[in-house]
Amino acid sequence: MRPRTAATALPLRACAAALALLAACAAPPPPAQVTKAGRATPAGGDLFLSEPALLAGGGLAPLPGAGGHGTAELAATFMELTFEMESGRPLSTFSRFEGPITVALAGPVPPSAPADLAQLLARLRAEAGIAIDAAPQGSAAAITVEFSTRSQMRRLAPTAACFVVPNVGSLAEYRARRGTAQVDWGALTDRRQAAIFVPADATPQEIRDCLHEEMAQALGPLNDLYRLSDSVFNDDNFNSVLTPFDMLILRATYAPELHSGMSRLQVQALIGGILSRLNPGGGGSGADLSPTPQVWTDAIEAALGSATGQATRRAAADRALAIARNQGWADGRLAFSHFAVARLYVGSDRARAVAEFSQAAAIYRRLPGGAIHVAHIDMQLAAIAVASGRPDQAVGFADRALPAIRMAENHALLATVQLIKAEALDMLGMGVEAQALRVDSRAAARYGFGTEAQVRAREREIGALGGRWGQRG
């Protein structure tokens, strides 16, 4: 299974380091699992009970299809997602749950989890047409979401932040069956039981994000593709909740024409017609469906990892960009290559970083769902503007990013951008407005960062960008 890279915010260590606000990639997990990278937080703390009200109703709306994708492209993508694992291992048999699906929570359930799970299940029913609901109290469930400490999970999956396993209902069952064909996704002919394992000591947003991605993979595709810009089935992790594209793929997975046990050829013969029905009006989109060579993936993961020094990571990012150009890509893979280079050159060559960010943004603006990617870049540019003494530019970047961030329901990114804007407002002599914005950011910050201590730490770190934290006390 390939490593996952994460587009999540990291602590700001110094003015230069503060501008690279993205997490490193995780190392490869064991082959029986599907994982999502994340960031640890201390257990306990004052976590929010559910998503902040400021985003309620402002998220992704149900859509009849996925805009910007033609039927032929969707069919090819469906087959690649469904009949191949992240490791490149082919799958010979189509599998899904048959009949109504029930979901239960187990272990030390965090306060935020029940509400976030309920919202996710409601979306899956409404947007993907899947018969899925919470299991009645005390009854067995098809899918169990078990919470435990991160240390307990690492004993079985040292590099996994959260993961899903077939044919088990608990961490104890997985421990007993680990390494057997029972927990091998490639051996499935249908899906009857699965367990999602999530650390209870993660932030509310990390828990929600794990619920979204691991539930999608428990129900449907087990693969991720870097070329997808509007999907959680992408190792760049810019999207943290299921998108309309993802719901379309899941809706196709549970189409009545399909059933568990079908061969690749049988599914391939039907999927075009299914997607034509589910995504009416889809024509040829001209998307680049070329395979992603492992050498590029390795370079990207080395660039965004933390196992090597900065110079080695910069060389890997430059290598990834050269490969992307040689491949002739003009899609998210080229954009992500520019992005990787930019975030690694902020501290040593700010002009190049800005140029690379700008090139990445220009590509993302042309891609389906690219607004959240551009918002991440605008966050970086706003931080650079504050550190460069250009608060007016920082406010402009922040204001441009905020609508897309709210739509994508990324609370950690929302709070980060609001705090950067507040710092810029302070620099412009607008202290009252800056403090009001900091107060407004608190709900999103607590949901995104976890504890009050972490929220305060983030405020101090971003305050250091403009060198004004000590003046505020």
Asked if residues 341 and 350 have their Cβ atoms less than 8 Å apart, the reply is no
Q: Is the domain 31-278 a CATH 3.30.565.10 member? A: no
- Model pTM greater than 0.85? yes
What is the pLDDT at residue 347?
87
Averaged over 328-355, what is the pLDDT?
Answer: 96
The type of residue at 330 is A
Residues 365-422 pLDDT 10s: 999 999 999 999 999 999 999 999 999 999 999 999 999 999 999 999 999 999 999 9
Please say if the pLDDT value at position 64 is more than 60. Answer: no
> Quick check: 48 pLDDT over 70?
no
Q: CA–CA separation, 72 vs 273, rounded Å?
A: 10
Backbone angles phi, psi at 434, to 5 degrees: -65, -45
- Whether 17 shows a pLDDT value over 60: the answer reads no
Query: For the chain, what is the largest distance between any 2 Cα atoms, rounded to a whole number of angstroms?
Result: 67
What is the pLDDT confidence band of residue 96, given thresholds at 50, 70 and 90? very high
| More confident: 138 or 439 | 439
pLDDT in tens, 178-225: 999 999 999 999 999 999 999 999 999 999 999 999 999 999 999 999
Between 22 and 91, the higher pLDDT residue = 91
Quick: pLDDT tens for 157-177.
887 789 999 999 999 999 999
Let me know: does 105 contact 145? Beta carbons within 8 Å: yes
Percent of the chain with pLDDT over 70: 84
Instruction: Please name the residue that has the structure tokens 């002009």.
Output: 351
For the chain, what is the mean pLDDT?
A: 86
Out of 45-49, 169-173, 281-285, 430-434, least confident range: 45-49
Percent of the chain with pLDDT over 90: 75
Domain ranges in the chain?
A: 31-278
More confidently predicted of 384 and 305: 384
pLDDT at 26 over 50: no
Pick from 70-74, 255-259, 339-343: least confident: 70-74
Q: Is the pLDDT of residue 27 over 50?
A: no
3-state secondary structure the chain: CCCCCCCCCCCCCCCCHHHCCCCCCCCCCCCCCEECCCCECCCCCCCCCCCCHHHCCCCCCCCCCCCCCCHHHHHHHHHHHHCECCCCCECCECCCECCCEEEEEECCCCCCHHHHHHHHHHHHHHHHCCCEEECCCCCCCCEEEEEECHHHHHHHCCCCCCEEEECCCCHHHHHHHCCCHHHCHHHCCCECCEEEEEECCECHHHHHHHHHHHHHHHHCCCCCCCCCCCCCCCCCCCCCCCCHHHHHHHHHHCCCCCCCCCEHHHHHHHHHHHHHHHCCCCCCCCCCCCCCCHHHHHHHHHHHCCCCCHHHHHHHHHHHHHHHHHHCCCCHHHHHHHHHHHHHHCCCCHHHHHHHHHHHHHHHCCCCCCHHHHHHHHHHHHHHHHHCCCHHHHHHHHHHHHHHHHHHCCHHHHHHHHHHHHHHHHHCCCHHHHHHHHHHCHHHHHHHHCCHHHHHHHHHHHHCCCCCHHHHC
> Which band of pLDDT confidence, cut at 50, 70 and 90, is reported for residue 121?
very high
Average pLDDT over residues 1-29: 33
Task: Dig out the tokens for 257 from the structure.
Answer: 């024409």
Report the distance separating Cα 323 and Cα 417, nearest Å.
32
Least confidently predicted of 20-29, 51-60, 146-155, 422-431: 20-29
Within a 10 A sphere around the Cβ of 140, how many other Cβ atoms?
11
The pLDDT of residue 303: 95
Range of weakest confidence among 5-9, 230-234, 293-297, 447-451: 5-9
Q: Which of 410, 403, 358 is nearest to 380 (CA)?
A: 358
Mean pLDDT of 235-261: 96
The pLDDT score that the predictor gives to residue 283 is: 61
Determine the pLDDT at residue 235: 85
Q: What's the pLDDT score for residue 154?
A: 86
Extract the tokens encoding 77.
């993508």
Region 259-270: mean pLDDT is 98
- So what's the pLDDT on residue 284? 59
Give mean pLDDT, residues 259-288: 90
Tokens 């828990």, located at residue? 207
